[in-house]
Amino acid sequence: MSIKPAIALLMLFSLAGCASTPQVKSAVEYFKDGENAYSDRNYDEAVTLWKKVKESYFTPELTTQAEIKIADALYEKDSYIEAAAAYEEFRKLHPNHEKASYALFRLGMCHFKQITGVDTDQTPVRNAVTTLTLFIKTYPGSDYAKEAQARIDEATGMQVRYEVNVGRFYLRTEKYQAAINRLEGVLTRFPASPQNDEALLYLGKAYMLSGNKAKGREMFNRLSTEYAASSYLDEAKKFMEKNY
């Protein structure tokens, strides 16, 4: 074979080899692609791309940014359990990072977003209150403090309604002492709740039906004094007229 055809053949093989070799992107490029995917709400793709950044260990700063963005993408796709784990891991790895407060707030919101109702598992409610209370205590000047407090109030209201519903169930099934214990617990744990008028109504009924009419009257008096505009006053009055 002459020299020229041999050179041409080598060039052909070289070009074929280049064509079959995939181009490997840099960590920075993967990071930017992840941002684009996130903007387009392609959260699964964004997570995949940012995981490549994280696994590349390109720089500590870029790795840290990828970690918090992975948590955000999981949060936005409603994968709150996975997002909570990612935010918690971020806080453990970077307790002094400028995003640590944000991660704690979002962790609380992950718990809040898992609340499904008043009469269902209350674990997410308790976790939301605990985590967001810790957030406000730790970062009182945060821009997220106002929203955190609003969510705490909402979750606390759910806790009160749940406990009152349990007390009402005991009352309805004539387990008066159990109803008293539960409803007294509401007043002790949540003394400032605006829903305590309902607790006082059922507590008054439970005391009176258990035979302690003096204590029942005391609860109804508290209801009329502390909640003068309550919609439960009329029911309390009728019950007193019938049973006292």
Q: Say if residues 187 and 203 touch (Cβ distance below 8 Å).
A: yes
In a domain, 115, yes or no: no
pLDDT of residue 121: 80
Question: Is residue 49 domain-resident?
Answer: no
Position 193 in a domain: yes
Residue 101 belongs to some domain of the structure: no
The per-residue pLDDT for 243 is 84
Structural domain total, the chain: 1
Q: What are all long-range contacts of 56-60, with beta carbons under 8 Å and residues at least 24 apart?
A: 56/27, 56/30, 58/26, 58/27, 58/28, 59/27
Residue 203 domain boundaries: 174-244
Residue 180: per-residue pLDDT: 97
Q: Determine, yes or no, domain membership for 124.
A: no
pTM over 0.85: no
Burial class (CB in 10 A: 0-12, 13-18, 19+), 20: exposed
Q: Would you state the pLDDT for residue 23?
A: 61
Task: List average pLDDT for each run of 10 residues in the chain, which is 244 residues long.
Answer: 40 44 77 96 97 90 96 98 98 96 98 88 94 98 97 95 96 97 96 93 96 96 95 94 84
Dmax (CA) of the chain: 119
Q: Which long-range CB contacts under 8 A does 90-99 form with residues at least 24 apart?
A: 93/67, 94/64, 94/67, 97/64, 99/64, 99/68
CB 238 within 8 A of CB 232: no
pLDDT for 20: 46
Domain membership of residue 192 (yes or no) is yes
